[in-house]
Structure 1
Amino acid sequence: MNYKKLIPSQKLRLELLKFLDFLPDKLMIKLQYRLSTGRRLNIKKPTRFTEKIQWYKLFYRKQLMVKCSDKYDVREYVASKGYSDILVPLYGVYDRAEDIVFDELPNQFVLKTTNGSHTNIICEDKSKLDIEVAKKKLNQWLNAWEGKVGREWAYHEIKPKIICEKLLEKDQNNDLVDYKFFCFNGQPFSLYVIVERFLKDGIKLGIFDTSFNKLPYKRIDIPALKRDIKKPRNFERMLKIAKDLSVDFPHVRVDLYNIDGVIYFGELTFYNGSGYKGYVPDEFDFELGKQFVLPKSIN
């Protein structure tokens, strides 16, 4: 069952989740997992990666995860690991959209909220930006009811702000390739390579091993990458960065960019797809699950 097809309106889905906010986390997670995957959640003896993500939400609550989920505070964590050089240049951090002095910003930049997903404003030409519309969007995102959506506790404890960063350059294909490393106790196991984010047909996703060999799996909800992708320059350094940034956690996804050998940090993600996104063939859910050795509960 795909609940997004059943309830196409995101606004309506959020209203429904808001209505159900009173439900205990375990019950709501079981319900959402069943609606999203069509399967019962085995929380006592999870074997799938998607099941272990649900366990992770419920029982592992290391406070450092809050810091590393915040798109601003995580910068301090990255710097503490010796990787200040991969941080995207920061132009400002703001509590409200009204605090942004647009005249002081360069012609190109990105504005984003520190706790959201898909809450970005990409400005490629400031002269064409409707500043009042941008401010309205940013404040709506800051004030949006998040409640317990996904029951991803680490994000719920973030006090949201707005940050403004440098707009990263696209490559010769008008693309910005995203490398997402799935790491377990400091060891990268596999990675997503996401391309064509800005093209008309939408994003494509390939799954690779750490030798950059394409694996015969795909995400069930994203079109598969079919064209050849060359291993990026400095790939071994990317692996080292992923190891160092993931060593403090049983599992985290480390997102990086690589622009002609220059590496930039994207974000750390603890609950990939909220643990509701499947794979074809289904066996990859179990393969990832084998890597995810559940720790003792911290709750």
Structure 2
Amino acid sequence: MGIKKVMQVAKRFCTNKEIRFSYLSKLGFYNGKSDEEYLGRLFEYSLGYKLNLSDPKTFNEKNQWLKIYGFKDEYVKLADKYLVKDIVGRAIGYEHVIKTIDTWDTAADIDFDKLPQKFVLKCNHTSSTGVIICKDKEKLDQAATIREMNKAMHTDYSYYRREHVYSKINRKIFAEEFIEDPSGRDINDYKVFVFNGRATYIQVDYDRFTDHHRNFYDREWNYVPFTTCYPTDPEHQIEKPSQLDELLGLAEKLADQTVKGIPFVRMDFYIVGTRILFGEITFYHGAGIERFYPAEYDRKLGDMIKL
């Protein structure tokens, strides 16, 4: 890194509280802080208003409250991306579960020779990190893959956003079947927002690797004019899934069978051809620090969470 770049980074570190806090927290500088104090600072730096845990009103405030005061030990297996598969299979049917190929305790144990040409590698305790999508094993840099998975295995994903459900997971690496749409198109990820047992909104992300956008729809597949984190586009028509009723029903059934009575949970699925496949259970959407656009939807969705 050149001296000019170093100076630019140093200036941002010194003048931007959010960047400084993020950097120091990832180094473990604030590990001794209580959840209330730490999340209060993270929340204000991320969203621009103070966190009120004594009388939370907004969606993001209530997600922070649920992190600190709503945690239950049974959530750990549900957040474990490997163990949850059997729970989901028993709850809604194994036909909705993506096949696991193999598991390992360390990155060094990965046996690439036994893997098919296409597969996905994941860590069971992370979210967006620790994921390798392999479409052609012959082109895969195995050494780089091992380094990346090893780094993910040694990262406590819970610290930065205090999502303690991830810190209690017994870490593993697993390979699962590579899922692709018969049409060759990217597979849409349908994230179903379940409030007090009722599936209410569906988030669909698209163009994730080029120009990430996010649209929200209600139960009847009407476009809803808000988003979090990424831009939304009402002119971008996402076709109503023919399995929409089944998707909503599966989300509600899975919530009832696994986290009955929870004020809010997100059930993520893929639709591949005629198949609905489970993705993951997310307890705290965006870790409760994603801005809403327009801002009033932070409160509107917050009103739907009954603590």
Change in Cα spacing, 1:35 to 1:174, as seen in structure 2 (3 Å) is same
Residue equivalent to 1:76: 86
Residue equivalent to 1:132: 143
Residue equivalent to 2:230: 222
The alpha carbon displacement at 1:203 in A equals 1.8
Match status 1:188 vs 2:196:
no
The alpha carbon displacement at 1:14 in A equals 5.6
Match status 1:111 vs 2:121:
yes
The one of 208, 214, 222 aligned to 2:217: 208
Q: Is the 8 A contact 1:17 1:149 kept in 2?
A: no
Residue equivalent to 2:273: 260
Change in Cα spacing, 1:55 to 1:9, as seen in structure 2 (3 Å) is closer
The alpha carbon displacement at 1:97 in A equals 1.6
Q: What whole-Å deviation, never above 9, does each CA across 1:189-245 have from its counterpart, x for those lacking one?
A: 1110111224xx3321001101111111122x2121341011112111110110011
Name the amino acid aligned to 2:195: F
Q: Is the 8 A contact 1:111 1:122 kept in 2?
A: yes
Q: What whole-Å deviation, never above 9, does each CA across 1:244-299 have from its counterpart, x for those lacking one?
A: 112222211000011122111100000111101121111211121111111xxxxx
When structure 1 is superposed on structure 2, of 182-191 and 263-272 the one drifting more is: 182-191
Change in Cα spacing, 1:49 to 1:13, as seen in structure 2 (3 Å) is same
Change in Cα spacing, 1:173 to 1:84, as seen in structure 2 (3 Å) is closer
Q: What SS does the aligned partner of 1:230 have?
A: coil
The alpha carbon displacement at 1:173 in A equals 6.3
Residue equivalent to 2:59: 49
Q: What SS does the aligned partner of 1:141 have?
A: helix
Match status 1:251 vs 2:264:
yes
Change in Cα spacing, 1:71 to 1:188, as seen in structure 2 (3 Å) is same
> Partners of 2:183 and 2:24 in 1: how far apart?
39
Pairing of 1:1-299 with structure 2 (within 5 A): 6=16, 13=23, 18-118=28-128, 119-146=130-157, 148-170=159-181, 172=183, 174-198=185-209, 201-219=210-228, 221-225=229-233, 226-247=235-256, 248=259, 249-294=262-307
Structure 2 residues without counterparts, runs of 5 or longer: 1-12
The alpha carbon displacement at 1:47 in A equals 1.0
**Percent identity of paired positions between Structure 1 and Structure 2:** 33
> Partners of 2:56 and 2:22 in 1: how far apart?
31
RMSD: 2.3
TM-score normalized by structure 2? 0.88
> Partners of 1:191 and 1:162 in 2: how far apart?
29
Change in Cα spacing, 1:14 to 1:101, as seen in structure 2 (3 Å) is farther
> Partners of 2:173 and 2:56 in 1: how far apart?
37
Name the amino acid aligned to 1:27: E
> Partners of 2:306 and 2:25 in 1: how far apart?
35
Residue equivalent to 1:297: none
> Partners of 1:292 and 1:8 in 2: how far apart?
28
Change in Cα spacing, 1:67 to 1:33, as seen in structure 2 (3 Å) is same
The alpha carbon displacement at 1:147 in A equals 5.8
Q: Is the 8 A contact 2:79 2:125 kept in 1?
A: yes
